[in-house]
Amino acid sequence: MSVTIVTATYNKPQFLFDAGLSVLNQSYENWSWWIVLNGSDHYTTAVAKGFARKDARVQVFNEPTDEGRRKKEYMPAVIINKYYPLVNTKYIFWLSDDDTLYQEGLKALVEALEKDPQKDIVYGDCQFVKLVNDQWKKGKWIRAKQEMGLGTGILPDKRIDGGQFLQTKRSWMIFTKEGLTITTDWRHANHIDGIYMNGLASLFTFYPIPVPVVLHRCTPLSTFVQVI
Partner 1 sequence: MKPATTIITSTYNKYNYFVDAAQTVLAQTRSDWQWWVILNSPVEKLEIVVQGYASIDPRITVFYHPCTEEERRKFYQPAIIINKYYPRVDTPYLVWLSDDDLWEATFLEDLVGELEADPSKDIVYGSCDLVYWPLVNAKEWIYRTTLKADKKIGAGTKLDPPLFVDGGQVVQTKRSYDALKGWQLPTDWKSGSHLDGIYTSMLGNQFVFHPVNKKVCTKRYSAWATFGHPKILLRVT
| Residue closer to partner 1, measured from CB, 43 or 103 | 43
Binding segment for partner 1 among 46-54, 66-74, 175-183, 186-194 (CB under 8 A)?
A: 46-54
Does 42 help bind partner 1 (rule: CB under 8 A)?
A: yes
Q: What is the 3-state secondary structure (H, E, C) of the chain?
A: CCEEEEEEECCCHHHHHHHHHHHHCCCCCCEEEEEEECCCCHHHHHHHHHHHHHCCCEEEEECCCCHHHHHHCCHHHHHHHHHHHHCCCCEEEECCCCCEECCCHHHHHHHHHHHCCCCCEEEEEEEEEECCCCHHHHCCCCCCCCECCCCCCCCHHHHCCHHHEEEEHHHHHHHHHCCCCCCCCHHHHHHHHHHHHHHHHCCCCEEEEEEEEEEEEECCCCCCCCCC
- Please select the residue that binds partner 1; options are 8, 19, 23, 47, rule is CB under 8 A: 47
Binding segment for partner 1 among 13-21, 95-103, 166-174, 191-199 (CB under 8 A)?
A: 13-21
- Please select the residue that binds partner 1; options are 54, 72, 143, 191, rule is CB under 8 A: 54
| Residue closer to partner 1, measured from CB, 62 or 202 | 62
| CA gap 11, 20 in Å, rounded | 14
Does 20 help bind partner 1 (rule: CB under 8 A)?
A: yes
Residues contacting partner 1: total by CB under 8 A: 18
Shortest Cβ 223–partner 1 spacing (Å): 19
Does 46 help bind partner 1 (rule: CB under 8 A)?
A: yes
Shortest Cβ 71–partner 1 spacing (Å): 26
- Please select the residue that binds partner 1; options are 139, 170, 210, 226, rule is CB under 8 A: 139
Residues 167 to 206 in contact with partner 1, rule: CB under 8 A? none
Binding segment for partner 1 among 10-18, 74-82, 83-91, 174-182 (CB under 8 A)?
A: 10-18
| CA gap 165, 213 in Å, rounded | 9
| Residue closer to partner 1, measured from CB, 41 or 116 | 41
| CA gap 214, 105 in Å, rounded | 7
Contact residues: partner 1, CB under 8 A: 13-14, 17, 20-21, 42-43, 45-54, 139
